[in-house]
A and B are shown apart, each in its own frame.
Chain A
Amino acid sequence: MLEAILLTIITAATPLVIAALGELVTERAGVLNLGVEGMMIMGAVCAFACSYLTGVPLLGVLAGIAGGAIFSLLFGFLTLTLVTNQVATGLALTILGLGLSGQIGESFVGIPGVKLQPIIIPFLSELPFVGRLLFAQDITFYLSIALVVCVGWFLFKSRTGLKMRAIGDNHGSAHALGINVIRTRYLAVMFGGACAGLAGAQLSLVYTPQWVENMAAGRGWIALALVVFASWRPWRVLAGGYIFGAVGILQLHAQAFGIGVPSQFLSMLPYAVTIVVLIVISHNRRTTLINTPACLGKPFVPDR
């Protein structure tokens, strides 16, 4: 029983961790992309379509990544090249993504999908308890852990990561130092899109292997909150993702047990917890100010 619950928590937390990590990199470069929900749902529909048409779910994962990344380019072009308002453009990305995915996915509604098969790591998966939990998962779980490690190393140990953080904190100075602000930001936005797409692929290939309209159900927004929760640090995203995943799963179990609280109130829990967490994290104005990339959401036009 405990093992089953932990397994579902891992499955629920993985897309949150992946999407939030992508957004974390984007925000570290100083770009606020509120379109995570839209990129996620585009990734989900691309992944489902590709895996259904080819019969190879692994290709679906790639399609999800590509779908999210390409879709995020739209946001990049508007906010970085045309310097539009990032908040409004992110919202536009979400609105368009929800519509477009509904349109693309219309013929897939009600079709059972192909589930992404787990990759069982020999020997390790035979360990008692943790073996089944951690070493017999599908590729998206392994990727989520690898991404946490890699993003953590990249941002804080590599030269390019340092440059990226410099851009996020002061794009004017970074530009003066000869760092290509706009190109780096394009890459950061695309990385965020690719991660959101991968998270979406996990939803439509692992979490519930089918296409349901609007199946991201606010997870993209929760991922955005997760970045704030994690105060822009990759390892904390991992922790936060699992807390949010656990809340989501436990409320489902509570609904199944029927603990006397109407199911709607239990369904509110993930959203309510998000608000409470935001309060706890943000109430100290000074630490928030220190952690937030200073140029987050600010427009940048290089002076020539």
Chain B
Amino acid sequence: MRIELERRASASSLFALVSPILALVLTLLAGAIMFLMLGKDPGHALYSFFIEPLLEVWSLHELAIKAAPLILIAVGLSVCYRSNNWNIGAEGQFTMGAICGSMLPILVPQWQSPLVLPLMLVMGAIGGALFAGIPALLKTRFNTNEILVSLMLVYIAQLFLDWLVRGPWRDPKGFNFPQSVSFSADAVLPELLESGRAHWAIVFALVAAVAVWFMMRYMLKGFQVTVLGSSERAGRFAGFSSRRMVWFSLMLSGACAGLAGISEVSGSIGHLQPSISPGYGFTAIIVAFLGRLNPLGIIASGFVLALTYLGGEAAQLSIGVSDKVTRVFQGLLLFFVLSCDTLILYRIRLIFSDGRASAEARSPHA
């Protein structure tokens, strides 16, 4: 049996909608098989993974908390990927954003003012953008590969944070824990509703998604992103600068990741510590692809991936599987998303007989 692809005359709009859903269904099936192999009842496992977290108010709040950084980062990444710039170091930009934004409450804790929080957020976004500027600078000046550079910078950012919270920024009254001082009330991102912990980050995420959607759809910049991404040559003929696009897309995604970082630290954690993210920067890559690199789709997919985090935590308690299952689910999901996307551009043919049938099919052309 062979698989042959036949290019569709035009991209199938039906499959553009169906493929993410198909991918989700396939992931659930694969997940059921995985739970069977782990010796768990798959129905019960999937229920506690994907349904239970949706049934209580507090866990809906947690869902919003986890979805916010995912959506925010993924929206930025979608612009990068559409313009064919492969920033995979969002985790590092997230960390640097958190560090830059935390400078105010940690270094000048005595300054209390309503200005603190907005300044922190701006500094976080700038920190992330500047950190993403490194791969942009190296790519435009020295022609280096942005994939490798941005990834290496993740390790560097994490080690830098580790040094800060164990060294100069450690809370002197913190019983030697590697933690900074806790942020004062002025530096904490307020909660959104009275019913739970969800804070303003989710609003930032939704606003960013709509703004980027508007840019991609109605603004010249968005058009430049798409053109340069699909064909750099065509873009050059139109007078678009691919150098400037490298800077724009990387700094934009860095700013989004940095804002996500400072929002997470200020809203959910309340101080700096060695580990501030369960891999949001990498999971956001999956979010971006599951949302088909469309900011509105990313809102939906951000909640789906947030659910895998929550479900993983819930399943750890209720059915006793490890939190690694979450990563497996996320990896599987990305695989299925990518393979289902093939259906948008191609028709897939299964050819069962070897040789003869395809030779006959080919003969009219010969």
Residue numbers of A with Cβ under 8 A of B are 34, 74, 78, 81-85, 87-89, 91-92, 95-100, 102-103, 106, 218, 221, 224-225, 228, 262, 264-265, 267-268, 271-272, 274-275, 278-279, 282-285, 288, 301, 304
B339 within 8 A of A: yes
Contacts of A225 in B (CB 8 A): 148, 152
Partner of A96, one of B151, B334, B339: B334
| B291 CB to nearest A CB, Å | 13
B149, B327, B338: the one contacting A88 at CB < 8 Å is B338
**Within 8 Å CB of A268, what residues of B?**
155-156, 159-160
Q: Is the CB of A103 within 8 A of B346?
A: no
Q: How far is the CA of A91 from the CA of B148 in the complex (A)?
A: 12
Extra contacts, 15 of them, besides A87-B86, A228-B145 (Cβ < 8 A), are A81-B3, A82-B342, A83-B346, A84-B341, A88-B81, A95-B331, A97-B331, A99-B331, A100-B327, A103-B322, A103-B324, A264-B162, A264-B163, A268-B159, A274-B152
Instruction: Tell me whether A221 and B151 are in contact (CB under 8 A).
Output: yes
CA–CA, A283 and B142, complex, Å: 4
B144-A91 in contact (CB<8A)? no
Residues of the B chain whose Cβ atoms lie less than 8 Å from the Cβ of A97: 331
Contact A102 B338 (CB under 8 A): no
* CB of B325 to closest CB in A, whole Å: 7
Q: Are B338 and A85 in contact (CB under 8 A)?
A: yes
A264 touching B159 in the complex, CB below 8 Å, given contacts A98-B327, A221-B152, A279-B142: yes
User: Using a Cβ–Cβ cut-off of 8 Å, how many residues does chain B contribute to the interface with A?
Assistant: 51
Distance to closest chain A CB from B219 (angstroms): 25
Segment of B202-210, B240-248, B253-261, B282-290 engaged in the interface with chain A: B282-290
> Is B143 in contact with A99, judged by CB distance below 8 angstroms?
no
Instruction: For the complex formed, measure the closest distance between the CB of A164 and the CB atoms of chain B, giving whole angstroms.
Output: 22
Tell me how far the C-beta of B333 lies from the nearest C-beta in chain A, rounded to whole angstroms.
9
By beta carbon, the residue of chain A nearest B138 is A279
A78-B147 contact, Cβ under 8 Å, with A88-B289, A275-B152:
no
Q: Are B7 and A278 in contact (CB under 8 A)?
A: no
Q: List 10 A-B contacts (CB under 8 A).
A: A82-B5, A95-B330, A96-B327, A225-B152, A264-B160, A271-B152, A274-B152, A278-B145, A282-B142, A301-B7
Select B324's contact among A102, A283, A284, A304, beta carbons within 8 Å: A102
Which chain B positions have C-beta within 8 A of A275? 138, 144, 148-149, 152-153
Max chain A Cβ within 10 angstroms of own Cβ: one of B153, B335, B342? B335
* B144→A218 contact, CB < 8 A: no
The answer to whether the Cβ of B174 comes within 8 Å of any Cβ in the partner chain is: no
Cα(A37)–Cα(B61), bound, Å: 34
Whether B335 pairs with A106 at a CB distance below 8 angstroms is no
Task: Count chain B CB atoms within 10 A of each CB in A74, A95, A221, A264 and give the residue with the most.
Answer: A95
Residues of the B chain whose Cβ atoms lie less than 8 Å from the Cβ of A84: 338-339, 341-342
Q: Answer whether residue B4 sits at the interface, using C-beta atoms and an 8 A cutoff.
A: yes
Whether the pair A278, B149 counts as a contact (CB closer than 8 A) is yes
Q: Is B326 an interface residue (CB 8 A)?
A: yes
Least distance between A107 CB and chain B CB atoms (Å): 10
Give the 7 A-B CB pairs with smallest separation, nearest first: A99-B327, A96-B331, A264-B163, A102-B324, A92-B334, A99-B328, A283-B142
- Write out the residue numbers on chain A whose beta carbons fall within 8 Å of the beta carbon of B163: 262, 264-265
Cβ of A92 and Cβ of B145 under 8 Å apart?
Answer: no
Chain A residue with the shortest CB-CB distance to B141: A283
Question: Is the pair A95, B145 in contact by a Cβ cutoff of 8 Å?
Answer: no
* B173 close to chain A: CB less than 8 A: no
Q: Are A267 and B331 in contact (CB under 8 A)?
A: no
| B:164-178 near A, CB below 8 Å | 166-167
Pair A100/B159 contact, Cβ less than 8 Å:
no
Measured CB to CB, the nearest residue on chain A to B159 is A264
- Give, as a whole number of angstroms, the nearest-CB distance from A177 to chain B: 17
B252 at the interface (CB under 8 A from A): no
- Chain A residue with Cβ nearest B168: A262
**Complex Cα–Cα for A267 and B144 (A):** 22
* Mask: chain B, 287-326; 1 = CB below 8 Å from A; 0 = not: 0010000000000000000000000000000000010111
B327 contacts A102, CB within 8 Å? yes
**In-complex Cβ contact of A82 among B155, B325, B339 (8 A):** B339
